Chain A
Amino acid sequence: MEYFLQQLINGLTLGSIYGLIAIGYTMVYGIIGMINFAHGDIFMVGSFIALATFLALVALGISALPLILFITLLVSMLFTSAWGWTVERLAYRPLRGSFRLAPLITAIGMSIVLQNFVQITQGARVKPLPPQIQGGVTLMEGVTENGTIAVQLSYMQMIIIATTLALMIGFSLLISKTSLGRSQRACEQDQKMAALLGVNVDRTISLTFVMGAALAAVAGFMFLLLYGVIDFYIGFLAGVKAFTAAVLGGIGSLPGAMLGGLLIGLIEVFWSGYFSVEYKDVAAFSILVIVLIFMPSGLLGKPEVEKV
Chain B
Amino acid sequence: MNAAPNSGLMAESVKDAAVAALLAAVLGFFFFALRTDIGTGGLDLTYRWGLWFIAIAIVFGVRLLLNLFIFKAKKPITSGVSVSVPPALTTAVGRVIGPVLLMIALTLPFIVMAVYPERDRQFIDLAILIMTYVMLGWGLNIVVGLAGLLDLGYVAFYAVGAYSFALLAQYFDIGFWMALPLAGLLAAMWGIILGYPVLRLRGDYLAIVTLAFGEIIRVVLLNWYEFTGGPDGISGIPKPSFFGLDFSRTGGFADFFGLDYDSIHRFIYLYYIILVLALITNFVTLRLRKLPIGRAWEALREDEIACRSLGINTTNTKLTAFSIGAMFGGFAGSFFATRQGFISPESFTFLESAIILAIVVLGGLGSQIGVVIASVVMIGGIEILRNLGFLKEIFGPDFEPTQYRMLIFGLAMVLIMVWKPRGIISSRNPSAVYKERKKIGSDMVAQGEGH
Name A's B-contacting residues (CB within 8 A).
29, 35, 48-49, 51-53, 55-56, 59, 79, 82-83, 86, 90-91, 94-95, 98-102, 104-106, 108-113, 115-123, 125, 127-130, 236, 240, 243-244, 247, 251, 278-279, 281-282, 285-286, 288-289, 292-293, 296, 304, 306, 308
Interface size class of B (residues with CB under 8 A): 35 or more
Min CB gap B379→A, angstroms: 14
Whole-angstrom distance between the Cβ of A58 and the nearest chain B Cβ: 8
Given A101-B150, A111-B410, A251-B204 contact (CB < 8 Å) = yes
Are A116 and B422 in contact, CB atoms less than 8 angstroms apart? no
Inter-chain CA distance A121–B55, complex, in Å, is: 12
Closest chain-B Cβ to A65's Cβ sits at a distance in Å of 16
> Within the assembled complex, what's the spacing in Å between the Cα atoms of A100 and B422?
10
C-alpha spacing A111/B212, complex, angstroms = 18
Q: Is B34 an interface residue (CB 8 A)?
A: yes
Question: Would you give the shortest CB distance from A236 to chain B, in whole angstroms?
Answer: 7
Q: Are A108 and B219 in contact (CB under 8 A)?
A: no
B361/A105 in contact, CB under 8 A? yes
Bits for B309-320, please: 1 = Cβ < 8 Å to A, else 0.
000000000000
Contact residues in A for B203 (Cβ distance below 8 Å) = 100
With beta carbons under 8 angstroms apart, the residue of A55, A119, A244 that contacts B36 is: A55
The answer to whether B112 has its CB under 8 Å from any CB of chain A is no
6 closest A-B pairs by CB: A109-B413, A112-B410, A113-B410, A285-B212, A116-B407, A102-B421
* Cβ contacts B180-213/A at 8 Å (1 or 0 each): 0000000000000000011011111101110111
Pair A292/B209 contact, Cβ less than 8 Å: yes
Residues of A within 8 A of B200 (CB): 296
Query: Is A56 touching B34 in the complex (CB atoms < 8 A)?
Result: yes
Known A55-B34, A79-B29; 5 more pairs at CB < 8 Å:
A105-B357, A106-B414, A108-B354, A112-B413, A128-B38
Q: A49-B30, A101-B365 are in contact. Are A95 and B417 (CB under 8 A)?
A: yes
B65 at the interface (CB under 8 A from A): no
Partner of B410, one of A100, A116, A304: A116
Report yes or no: A99 in contact with B417, Cβ–Cβ below 8 A.
Answer: no
- Which chain A residue has the least Cβ–Cβ distance from B420? A102
CB <8 Å contact, A282 and B31: no
In this assembly, does B427 line the interface, its C-beta being within 8 Å of a C-beta of chain A?
no
Q: How far apart are B158's CB and chain A's nearest CB, in angstroms? A: 17
Task: Please tell me which one of the listed residues A55, A104, A120 contacts residue B404 in the complex, with CB atoms under 8 A apart.
Answer: A120
Which A residue sits closest to B35, measured CB to CB?
A122
B411 is contacted by which of A82, A83, A113, A279 (Cβ under 8 Å)?
Answer: A113
Complex alpha-carbon distance, A83 and B220, angstroms: 35
Determine whether the beta carbon of B26 is less than 8 Å from that of A79: yes
Cβ contacts B41-71/A at 8 Å (1 or 0 each): 0110100000000000000000000000000
Contact B414 A109 (CB under 8 A): yes
Quick one: closest A residue to B205, CB to CB?
A292
Give chain A nearest CB distance to B229 CB in angstroms.
15
Do residues B450 and A117 form an inter-chain contact, with CB atoms below 8 A?
A: no
Docked CA distance A35–B409 (Å): 20
Tell me, in angstroms, the Cα distance from A145 to B203 when the chains sit together.
Answer: 52
Given contacts A130-B42, A288-B209, contact A106 B417 (CB under 8 A): yes
B201 touches A296 (CB 8 A): yes
- Binary CB contact string for chain B from 400 to 444 against chain A (1 if under 8 A, 0 otherwise): 000110110111111001100110000000000000000000000
Instruction: Name the A residues within 8 Å of B34 (CB-CB).
Output: 52, 55-56
A95-B418, A289-B213 known; A53+B447 contact, CB < 8 A = no
Report which of B43, B223, B362, B412 forms a contact with A127, defined as CB distance below 8 A.
B43
Which residues of chain A are near B216, meaning CB under 8 Å?
281-282, 285-286
Can you name 24 A-B pairs with beta carbons within 8 Å?
A: A52-B36, A79-B29, A86-B23, A91-B414, A102-B421, A106-B418, A108-B357, A108-B413, A109-B358, A111-B410, A112-B406, A112-B407, A116-B404, A117-B31, A121-B31, A121-B32, A128-B42, A240-B212, A247-B208, A278-B223, A281-B215, A282-B219, A285-B212, A308-B305
